[in-house]
Amino acid sequence: MVLGYGFCGLVIAFLFLRLSPAIEAAPPAHIEGGSPSCLGLRHSGGVVWRLSGLFGLDAFGGGFVVQSLAAYWFHLRFGAEPAQLGEIFFGANILAGFSALMAAQLSRRFGLVNTMVFTHLPSNLLLILVPLMPNQTAAIFVLLLRFSISQMDVPTRQSYLMAVVHPEERSAAAGITGVARTTGAALAPACAGMLLASPALLNFPFYLAGGLKIIYDLLLYRSFIGLKPPEEDGDAGRK
């Protein structure tokens, strides 16, 4: 499985290397040869760096409860066997997929930032509740309920990022924010592993994950509720 995953990554890298510059949006003629860019950003740097910090915080929080660690927690706490864990997370991912599909309809009605925040907040509250459940059945139910709304912020987050940066800077913005998320997600599991090694701290990864992600939601709402994407607020929304 590990070798197969690595091989798929190499195939994807090879396909990306074969792409030509024609896939990029051409910069407007009036900025050709203008001010130098920072990692491909000329006008959208402030927005991208702020979003990168927030996305990194969100990914760091989520790294405490990646599915492998959550499965291990169910094994430690309730003695769940591998076959049962496979069923739990198969169902969880199916629900997560449906939640992502629902995001488009909600965002058209309520806006991208509102959809991101007001679906993510209850999801994170449910995450905190998982270890507080008295038995495995209740914990699984809360986890599945959480997954049923957990991915609504993913397509809306990506759409929002692409909407508020200049078209010619979208690739750079996606790359920078992607690295921020990957870095945050890579750091947290080491901390979570140390917590899971202590019986007294067994539930803390869920509390830290939910708490950090709630802080992310509140900061995102405060910082970006006034920055509307163009389709919600006309061309004035892009800065």
Q: What is the pLDDT of residues 141-182, one digit of tens each?
A: 999 999 999 899 999 999 999 999 988 888 889 999 999 999
pLDDT tens figures, 92-111: 999 999 999 999 899 988 99
Percent of the chain beyond pLDDT 70? 92
Domain ranges of the chain: 44-222
This prediction's pTM: 0.85
Q: Which of 92, 95, 93, 89 is nearest to 68 (CA)?
A: 89
CATH superfamily entry for domain 44-222: MFS general substrate transporter like domains (1.20.1250.20)
Rounded to 5 degrees, what angle do the CA atoms 101, 103, 105 make? 95
